[in-house]
């Protein structure tokens, strides 16, 4: 029988025929794709022709096309709809893919051709985009160890292979802890919870086959439980389970994995000639070096800590007024902060949620992209990997632009968090290839027949991930290696965080924030109160984020710690971490940093990008029109369509005329006067 992963796909827009693909198809497809890629690369090196950009760089760009198709399909289902077979495949594939990557970068004949082109670059009459691709290709080889030989090259290959295995293990351990824990709720445990939390708890209980309502470690359930439950004992139990993910002992404990990962990263950097992993990792980012990252984070840390400290005193008084002695604890913060928000802004989550329907918020993301960039979305019947998944054809002026896929609801088979990925990226080298872009979220799934309701943070997440999707969909480059979100890590969050601002545009909410039962728009006074509370509790939010970023930086800017948990504690003590706030991501469940190299020594990048997004949206404010056509066109032409074809700082300057300072960020977070 023909393997469907290796066959032509007779599906809408060449989407994977998920119903025809079994888990048993992935291994033989991967093996065939690896062999095809190796054969293509070998052909590059065995030609008698001297190296040219076309016969070397462009051939290299196309060499792993089949592998990209197989892996785009596999990692989509492995992340969003996992099962034991797919988890086993991830463990099997990690060292194989690492070995393939090492084989490519250690291919002396291939690197010789690349280096020859680099040496001749001024005489090759390359376009700016081709020059950029050549530079990035050569840099990728060098940073992967192409100039190493003998024992050093062998050791680097082993280190990278082991790191790939550790990252997979870390992710699967975290998923197991999140999937397996739940806390049953009796009637007393449900008392005082809003209807939407009760409904979500019952739905989670049915998924767990628990015979009643439960609290799980899904953020979409545990956060509102911590906000609204008056049972301090249950809040403590749930919170401590939440922050203990990856640190429960046994086979899913991630602490030893974190220690080994940090040790191997440092060794990798040393082998490549860098003093620390931070020096290695940040060399290619906008920040450039650890000192620049620390400077930004500390500019924000002090005013955020001051704001959080003032808030903590108020919340602790509320705790004492309820008859509890002792200090405010981490499991108390969200509960009393929600009460205080009600007092200060006459606003609570239960009042807001009926106006923030998932379907209407999806419409809002589409409508804003239509007004800004002329995009239209038509839902289509297409193959999907899960019944909850929806698919849209994206067009502009009648022409196909992309396929957009939305997978919005939490389930036990999906890893936590929210992300955007491309099952297929935009490029022109192999024809006019349009992207297949997917947004994955973990919103609470409603009862059958009921609308899905979002928190305001959920709605921001929806807009955030759609901003990433726009970066992929509007990409307009020739080469896949620089397509879409293939940019510096501390630049990649700019389009996503910038797009969040359109959720706060009053006319957008006035049109799309409609009541789930009555269909009435959000009342003007509620809209005003909601937007007025936009920076409420920002001290807490900023402290838990920046603390995580500083720990990530501290792990990587010096010798690797023998005990990461001790190092984490030392860093938090040094910066004066408030006692009632924990890191957003403690080390054993810090997937951004330990599930792979993507955000390692790069968690700061959200804030680096926020400096730019605050300043970029200010450009629309200065004009007085959030949908100004000329400015939107410039945003697309300079940033969203360019991918990694131009240096990130240069792209931003093309859009804004200059690089920004931190002032707009502090103002946007309501922290400008907090220090």
Contact 202, 193 (CB under 8 A): no
Q: Which residues contact 600 (CB under 8 A, 6 or more apart)?
A: 265, 277, 281, 552, 556, 592, 593, 594
Percentages (nearest 5) of helix, strand, coil residues in the chain: 60, 5, 30
Q: Region of 428 please: left (phi>0), alpha (psi -120 to 50) or beta.
A: alpha
Catalytic residue among 465, 480, 500, 557: 465
DSSP class of residue 655 equals: H
Strand order in the sheet with 419-424: 376-379, 390-396, 399-409, 436-443, 419-424
Residues 6+ apart with CB under 8 A from 35: none
Q: Give residues with Cβ within 8 angstroms of 233, minimum separation 6.
A: none
For residue 407, the surrounding DSSP H or E stretch is: strand 399-409
Six-digit token pair at 66?
Answer: 């089949």
**If DSSP codes are grouped into helix, strand and coil, which group holds residue 305?**
helix
Q: How far apart are CA 235 and CA 228, in angstroms?
A: 9
Three-state DSSP string of 96-124: HHHHHHHHHHCCHHHHHHHHHHHHCHHHC
Distances in Å between the Cα of 302 and the Cα atoms of 305, 356, 582 are 5, 34, 16
Q: Is residue 650 among the annotated active site residues? A: no
How far does Cα 315 stand from its chain's mean position?
A: 31
Per DSSP, the residues of 415-446 read: -SS-EEEEEE--BSTTSSBPPEEEEEEEEPPP
Residues comprising the chain, all counted: 675
- DSSP characters over 21-40: --GGGHHHHHHHHHHHHHHH
Catalytic positions are: 465
């Amino acid at each position: 029988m023909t393997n469907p992963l290796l066959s032509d796909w007779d599906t809408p827009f060449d989407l994977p025929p998920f119903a025809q693909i079994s888990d048993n198809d992935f291994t033989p497809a991967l093996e065939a794709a690896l062999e095809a890629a190796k054969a293509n690369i070998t052909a590059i090196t065995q030609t008698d022709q001297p190296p040219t950009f076309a016969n070397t760089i462009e051939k290299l760009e196309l060499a792993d096309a089949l592998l990209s198709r197989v892996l785009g399909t596999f990692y989509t289902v492995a992340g969003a709809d996992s099962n034991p077979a797919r988890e086993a495949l991830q463990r099997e594939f990690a060292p194989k893919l690492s070995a393939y990557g090492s084989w490519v970068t250690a291919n002396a004949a291939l690197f010789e051709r690349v280096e020859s082109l680099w040496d001749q670059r001024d005489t090759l009459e390359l376009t700016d985009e081709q020059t950029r691709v050549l530079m990035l290709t050569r840099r990728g080889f060098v940073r992967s160890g192409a100039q190493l030989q003998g024992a050093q090259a062998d050791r680097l290959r082993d280190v990278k292979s082991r790191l790939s295995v550790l990252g997979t293990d870390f992710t699967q351990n975290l998923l197991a802890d999140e999937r397996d824990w739940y806390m049953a709720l009796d009637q007393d445990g449900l008392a005082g919870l809003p209807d939407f939390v009760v409904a979500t708890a019952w739905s989670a209980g049915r998924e767990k086959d628990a015979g009643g309502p439960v609290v799980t470690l899904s953020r979409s359930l545990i956060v509102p439980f911590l906000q609204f439950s008056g049972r301090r004992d249950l809040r403590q139990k749930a919170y401590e389970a939440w922050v203990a993910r990856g640190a429960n002992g046994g086979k899913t404990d991630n602490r030893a994995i974190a220690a080994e990962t940090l040790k191997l990263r440092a060794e990798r950097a040393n082998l490549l000639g860098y003093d620390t992993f931070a020096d290695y990792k940040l060399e290619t980012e906008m920040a450039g070096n650890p000192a620049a990252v620390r400077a930004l984070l500390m500019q924000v840390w002090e005013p955020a800590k001051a704001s959080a400290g003032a808030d903590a005193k108020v919340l602790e008084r509320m705790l004492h007024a309820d008859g509890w002695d002792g200090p405010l604890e981490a499991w108390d913060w969200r509960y009393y902060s929600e009460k205080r928000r009600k007092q200060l802004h006459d606003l609570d989550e239960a009042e807001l949620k009926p106006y923030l329907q998932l379907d209407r918020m999806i419409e809002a993301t589409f409508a804003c992209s239509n007004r800004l960039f002329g995009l239209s979305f038509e839902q289509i019947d297409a193959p999907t990997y899960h019944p909850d998944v929806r698919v849209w054809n994206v067009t502009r002026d009648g022409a196909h632009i992309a396929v957009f896929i939305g997978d919005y609801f939490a389930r036990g088979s999906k890893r936590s968090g929210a992300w955007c990925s491309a099952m297929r990226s935009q490029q022109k080298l192999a024809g006019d290839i349009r992207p297949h872009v997917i947004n994955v979220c973990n919103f609470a799934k409603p009862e059958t027949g009921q609308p899905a309701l979002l928190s305001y943070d959920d709605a921001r997440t929806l807009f955030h991930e759609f901003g990433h999707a726009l970066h992929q969909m509007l990409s307009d480059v020739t080469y896949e290696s620089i397509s879409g979100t293939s940019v510096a890590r501390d630049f990649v969050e700019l389009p996503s965080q910038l797009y969040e601002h359109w959720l706060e545009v009053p006319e957008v909410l006035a049109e799309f924030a409609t009541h789930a039962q009555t269909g009435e728009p959000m009342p003007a006074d509620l809209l005003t109160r909601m937007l007025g509370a936009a920076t409420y509790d920002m001290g807490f939010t900023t402290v838990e984020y920046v603390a995580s970023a500083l720990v990530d930086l501290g792990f990587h800017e010096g010798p690797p710690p023998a005990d990461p948990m001790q190092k984490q504690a030392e860093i938090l003590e040094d910066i004066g971490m408030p006692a009632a706030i924990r890191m957003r991501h403690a080390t054993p469940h810090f997937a951004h940093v330990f599930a792979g190299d993507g955000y390692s020594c790069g968690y700061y990048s959200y804030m680096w990008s926020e400096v730019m997004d605050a300043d970029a949206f200010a450009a629309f404010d200065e004009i007085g029109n959030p949908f100004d056509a000329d400015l939107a066109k410039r945003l697309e032409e300079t940033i969203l369509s360019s991918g990694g074809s131009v240096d990130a700082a240069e792209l931003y300057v093309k859009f804004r005329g200059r690089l920004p300072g931190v002032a707009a960020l502090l103002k946007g977070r309501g922290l400008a006067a907090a220090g």
